[in-house]
Structure 1
Amino acid sequence: MYRFLLTPRWWGINLFVVLAIPFCVFMGTWQLGRFEDRVQSHEEAEKQPDPGTRTAKPLAELLPVDQETSGRPAVTTGTYADQFLVPGRKLDDRDGFYVLNLLRTDSGKALPVVRGWLPGTAGRADVPAAPAGEVTVTGDLQASENTGSDGVSTSGGLPEGQLGMISAASLVNLVPYDVYDAWVTLPEPEAGGSGGSMKPVPAVAAQGSGLDLKAFQNLGYTGEWFVFGGFVLFMWFRLVRREAEAARDVELGLAADAD
């Protein structure tokens, strides 16, 4: 009754099933591993002490920025140079902007430093000048932004002296020197202008860590791949049963043999 499984057509079906099921299991296991990695990184982040209580390390020791070094206090020395405003940034549900200065270090590269946040519209509020001369900066290390924050467009169209996102790629055509692919935010406020004192910008978690929406998407994809594998197996059994019933009907003379 099951001799049809040896026909060329069924050889192709069987080969597809033999390859599809392990592939679905592999993809489901891989997505589950991604979810478990995110859970582990979230648990490790919860165990980390507050940024203010951790010992600052030289900037060079913390680069490149990854999930482990993101948010760590970094210290470096240099001289403040160009200043930019980063509009469209919220703090405590209030609209405002970041005040960013490039710190020229002894390495020849410049480190973007977010000195603080001010309420209002960038370009209209009074912005305090950066300290003159050589300074030592200690700030929480952050990875370069890949997309604009809070819906800020990164495609240009901003007035001169303003920046859509904080990254070396967005600064490469604005300054005549190399820029680190990272930035720091000062944990202590600086004195402001007429708009009041600048508020420190808190460090954010590294991208790809924590139990965010993408983490639960990985968990959902895990279930989908296992369902796909089960569906392939279910359809194979259903086709085999239908083919066997057709062969039995032919043997009993209940149906014509159509090959």
Structure 2
Amino acid sequence: MYRFLLTPRWWGINVFVLLAIPFCVFMGSWQLSRFEARVEDHRSAGAQAEENKREAARPLAELLPVDKATSGRQATASGRYDKQLLVPGRELDGKQGYYVLTLLRTDDGEALPVVRGWLPGDADRADAPAAPTGEVEVTGALQASEVPGENGVPTQGGLPSGQTGAISAATLVNLVPYDVYDAWITLDRADAGMKAVPATAPGDTGLDLKAFQNLGYTGEWFVFAGFVVFMWFRLLRREVEFARDAELGLTPDPDEERASSPSGV
């Protein structure tokens, strides 16, 4: 009754099933591992944020370049404040407002973007407090340069003079005549009555849409594996029924029927 399993057609079906099931299981397991890695990153980022609050501030040069390990850590730098810019469209405590960003010219000639605080409403240079004069030392949470167009960060296009859409070295070098660090800090204590801007978690460490996409893909791959098994048993059952009916003389032999068919199927 099961001699049809030795036909070339069924050899092809069986080989496909034997390859497809392990592949689907592998892909599902890989997607699950990606989700678990993002969950672990999320937990680590939360623990790192608490540790950063307790850790003593370190010189800026010791924490560069910014990565997942150094993002959010307390950094210190000294110099003189120079050009001030406003960063519109920034939300804090559920309210829309803007950052007051001032470039700190350090002793090595490069400038460090410093977010001195946040103010509500539309960006207005008249409302933004002027930066302190003379030599200053700042302490704040170190952050990586933003990428325009990602994570809700606006692009530079259409903004008036004196404003920037992203806190990014690639953007700021076009607005000032000197080099800018590929990083920025947000002061722990905002200047002149402004609200301090909390540090954000480094990229790819949160339970965002991508993490849950990995979880969804995990389910899809295991469903595909189950579907392959289901279809194999369904085809097998149909062939067995054809073979049984042929033995009883109710229908032609399925192999003969396929051979006599114009299409061969």
1:258 counterpart residue number: 257
2:23 counterpart residue number: 23
2:263 counterpart residue number: none
1:55-204 mapped onto 2 (5 Å cutoff)? 55-123=56-124, 125-147=126-148, 153-154=154-155, 156-191=157-192, 197-204=193-200
CA–CA distance in structure 1, aligned partners of residues 173 and 119 of structure 2: 25
Distance 1:209 1:9, change over 3 A: same
Distance 1:243 1:181, change over 3 A: farther
Q: TM-score, normalised by structure 2?
A: 0.84
Task: Please list every run of 5 or more consecutive structure 1 residues that lacks an aligned counterpart in the other structure.
Answer: 192-196
1:115 CA displacement: 1.0
Aligned residues between the structures: 254
1:157 CA displacement: 0.5
1:73 CA displacement: 0.7
1:8 counterpart residue number: 8
Question: Is the contact between residue 89 and residue 149 of structure 1 (CA under 8 Å) also seen in structure 2?
Answer: no
| Residue 34, structure 1, aligned to residue 26, structure 2 | no
Amino acid at match of 1:138: T
1:247 CA displacement: 2.8
| Residue 217, structure 1, aligned to residue 213, structure 2 | yes
1:113 CA displacement: 1.3
Q: TM-score, normalised by structure 1?
A: 0.85
Larger Rg over CA atoms: 2
CA–CA distance in structure 2, aligned partners of residues 11 and 176 of structure 1: 71
Question: Is the contact between residue 149 and residue 165 of structure 1 (CA under 8 Å) also seen in structure 2?
Answer: no
Amino acid at match of 2:251: A
Question: Is the contact between residue 79 and residue 105 of structure 1 (CA under 8 Å) also seen in structure 2?
Answer: yes
| Residue 229, structure 1, aligned to residue 228, structure 2 | no
CA–CA distance in structure 1, aligned partners of residues 153 and 44 of structure 2: 30
Query: Bigger CA drift: 114-123 or 2-11?
Result: 2-11
Question: Is the contact between residue 98 and residue 120 of structure 2 (CA under 8 Å) also seen in structure 1?
Answer: yes
Query: RMSD of the TM alignment (CA)?
Result: 2.5
What's the CA shift string for 1:41-92, capped at 9, x where partnerless? 2333343436442211222332333333221111223333322110011222
Question: Is the contact between residue 155 and residue 166 of structure 2 (CA under 8 Å) also seen in structure 1?
Answer: yes
CA–CA distance in structure 2, aligned partners of residues 4 and 102 of structure 1: 78
Question: Is the contact between residue 112 and residue 183 of structure 1 (CA under 8 Å) also seen in structure 2?
Answer: yes
What is the DSSP-based 3-state SS (H/G/I as helix, E as strand, rest coil) of the residue aligned with 2:177? coil
Distance 1:109 1:199, change over 3 A: same
1:108 CA displacement: 4.2
> Percent identity at matched positions?
70
What is the DSSP-based 3-state SS (H/G/I as helix, E as strand, rest coil) of the residue aligned with 1:244? helix
CA–CA distance in structure 1, aligned partners of residues 86 and 121 of structure 2: 12
CA–CA distance in structure 2, aligned partners of residues 94 and 87 of structure 1: 12
What is the DSSP-based 3-state SS (H/G/I as helix, E as strand, rest coil) of the residue aligned with 1:116? strand
Question: Is the contact between residue 117 and residue 200 of structure 1 (CA under 8 Å) also seen in structure 2?
Answer: yes
